[in-house]
Amino acid sequence: MSGVDLTGLSILLLFVGLLIIFMAVDSRRPATFRPIRGYEALKGAIERAVEAGERVHLSLGTGSVIGTDCAPALAGLAILTSIAESTTMSDKPVVATTGDGAMAILAQDTLRRVYSEARALPRYSPTSGRMLGPTPFSYVANIPILLASEDISVHVLAGSFGAEGALAADFGERQGAFVLAGTDDAQSQALLYATAEHPLIGEEIFAGGAYLNVGRVHRASLRVQDAVRMLIIAGIIIGTVLSLLGVIR
Amino acid sequence: MKIGTYLLWAAMAVGTGIIVLLGYFVQIDQIPADSLIGNIFELRLLIMGWAVLLAAVALGIGLFNLFLVHWMKVSAQRPGWKYSAVLIVAFVLTLLLGLIIGPDSRVVLFLFNSIQLPVEASLMALLAITLSLAGFRLVAQRRDLISLVFVGTALLVLIGSGPGILSAEGLFFSFFAGLRNWLVQVAAAGGARGILLGVALGSIVTGLRVLLAVDRPYGE
């Protein structure tokens, strides 16, 4: 049919097919992932925070749900699921903040679902998922007050950030908190590398669900990323060789 | 009942997601407008319009949530409640002024240009200091090869970007300018493309998980 991008649709179907295949083989052939220092340290930091009666804060960034920058925040919601499961029965459960109203509602829904599954719905508070400020810097300006007033000792940044992400991470470092930070923007990742104790580089932010055991779909999706990456690398190498040989231009 | 509700939300999310996504793969102007497929793609535009409207409503809910958090903090006089009180007063004052005399009025614009903009600009300025300190902290606390390469590269790019060096003549200056250009245009650009590729793959699978209703951030 003319007017249909068959290549794009084929690639999309390849992703779906690989996702289904890797989900099916997950129990028989479980994946072994390389260790990511930040995620490994996060588990211990959450346990220490729960035992000490301190709070975990997850920032979903300043990206909008309807924008192109919502993907890292959606990955952040998977991390929120895992953190919420670990802190549901804590005296001070996790707080999730964002710079977007719709993302705040998604954070509340995610938290409500985790509390409901843990049969602890009465402990759920709608203010545990909140919008701190509608603009990037008004959002960041509120972070030091939140960190100080809520006894936060674990500060996780998993969402879309611009330059303000560096300030958000640095406020956590100054508070003496455990800081894990990742985003999708390459330039902001460089800033987070300098300011955060545990930076997430590249696509590591999207691996949170798999590394924090949110479910087999998350493990399968990480394997899909690796498989497609290998195909792309093979394509680049073959294309380079063919170009050098003068077969293609 | 609960399963039925969950299925309804999931079906709505998957259905609208597929309609909007397919719009990116099909050239709509080549489809007759009065056909079934044409009507479905017209629906896509309507759905996207609704999404923008709902995002605006969500912003209102988010602001109400923000107000509620600080109101509770002031009521309970929890640590930092004085900052929350200032926020509530500023919030209510700005809202009332905006509603009564309009958001484009001189008073509201004066407030925005005299308070909001300088505060945000000063935070941006603070970023330069923060990053300089973070560079020193990185070398002091995280003494591994990657961190040293990171800080060394940043210093080389800074030296090569300086106005005196780029504009000056001589072998020493042209060496740093050339090194800076190679770092930015070859090494950094290549690395950034690799990162972007990984981020794109991660974004696609994250979107697919939501589209297939495996991840349901919209609740049960």
Query: Could you state, in order of their start, the residue ranges of all structural domains in chain B?
Result: 142-220
Find the residue in B nearest to A194 (Cα): B134
Residues of B in contact with A148 (CB under 8 A): 79-80
Mutate to test the interface with B, among A206, A228, A230 (most CBs of B within 10 A): A206
pLDDT over 60 (residue B145): yes
**Is residue A71 pLDDT above 50, yes or no?**
yes
Residue A232 near residue B197 (C-beta atoms within 8 A): yes
Query: What is the model's pLDDT at position A2?
Result: 58
In this predicted structure, what is the pLDDT of residue A180?
96
Q: How far is CA A164 from CA A76, A136, B192, B197, in A?
A: 17, 7, 20, 23
Say yes or no to pLDDT of A130 above 60. Answer: yes
Q: Which residues of chain B make contact with A113, given a CB cutoff of 8 A?
A: 216, 219-220
Comparing alpha-carbon positions, the chain B residue that sits nearest to A232 is: B197
Question: In B, which residues are within 8 Å of A140 by CB distance?
Answer: 123
Residue B178 reports pLDDT greater than 90: no
Q: Is A219 helix (H, G, I), strand (E, B) or coil?
A: helix
> Mean pLDDT score of chain B, rounded to an integer?
86
A172 pLDDT higher than 60: yes
Measured between CB atoms, which of B26, B58, B210 is closest to A74? B210
Note the pLDDT of residue B1.
Answer: 47
Which candidate, B53, B47, B56, places its Cα nearest to that of B17? B47
The 10s digit of each residue's pLDDT in A79-126 is 999 999 999 888 889 999 999 999 999 999 999 999 999 998 988 988
CA distance B219 to chain A (A): 5
* pLDDT on residue B141: 83
> Is pLDDT at B16 greater than 50 in this prediction?
yes
| Interface subset of B 155-174, CB within 8 angstroms of A | none
Q: List the single residue in A109, A189, A203 with the smallest CB-CB distance to B219.
A: A109
CA distance A246 to A244: 5
Rg (chain B; Cα; Å): 27
Name residue A84's amino acid: A
Instruction: Specify the CATH number for A35-214; select among 3.40.50, 3.30.2320, 1.10.10, 1.10.1660.
Output: 3.40.50
**A127/B215 touch (CB, cutoff 8 Å), yes or no:** no
In this complex, do B205 and A137 lie within 8 Å of one another by their Cβ atoms? no
Residue numbers in B near A207 (CB within 8 A): 202
Of the residues B14, B30, B151, B201, the best mutation for testing chain A's interface (the one with the most A CB atoms within 10 Å of its CB) is B201
Least CB–CB distance from B69: residue in A65, A130, A224 = A130
Amino acid, single-letter form, for residue A47: E
Which chain B residues are Cβ-neighbours of A173 within 8 angstroms? 137
CB–CB contact A3 B60 (8 Å) = no
Other Cβ atoms less than 10 A from the Cβ of A51: the count is 9
Nearest-neighbour CA in chain A from B180: distance (Å): 17
CB contact under 8 A, B195 and A78: no
Q: Please list every residue in chain B whose beta carbon sits closer than 8 Å to the beta carbon of residue A149.
A: 73, 78-80
B24 has a pLDDT exceeding 90: no
Res B19 pLDDT > 70:
yes
Q: How confident is the model at residue B3 (pLDDT cuts 50, 70, 90)?
A: low
**E strand or H helix that includes residue A61:** strand A55-61
Closest chain B C-alpha to A130 CA, distance in angstroms: 6
Q: Is A7 exposed, middle or buried (0-12, 13-18, 19+ CB in 10 A)?
A: exposed
Rounded Cα distance between A18 and B172, Å, is 53
Taking each helix axis from N to C terminus, what angle separates B189-211 and A6-24, rounded to the nearest 10 degrees? Answer: 70
Candidate from A202-216, B19-33, B42-56, B195-209 with smallest mean pLDDT: B19-33
- Tens of pLDDT along A174-192? 999 999 999 999 999 999 9
> pTM of this prediction?
0.89
Verify whether the Cβ–Cβ distance B131 to A191 is below 8 Å: yes
Q: Which DSSP letter does residue B144 get?
A: S
Residue by residue, DSSP assigns A176-189 as T-EEEEE-S-HHHH
**How high is the mean pLDDT of chain A?**
92
pLDDT over 80 (residue A6): yes
Chain B CB contacts of A2 below 8 Å: 30
Alpha helices in chain A (DSSP H): 6-24, 37-52, 71-87, 101-117, 136-149, 164-175, 186-195, 208-211, 216-244
Beta bridge mates, A56: A154
Name which of A167, A189, A221 is nearest B205 (Cβ-Cβ). A221
**C-beta of residue A136 within 8 angstroms of C-beta of residue A62:** yes
Chain A contact present for B32, CB below 8 A: no
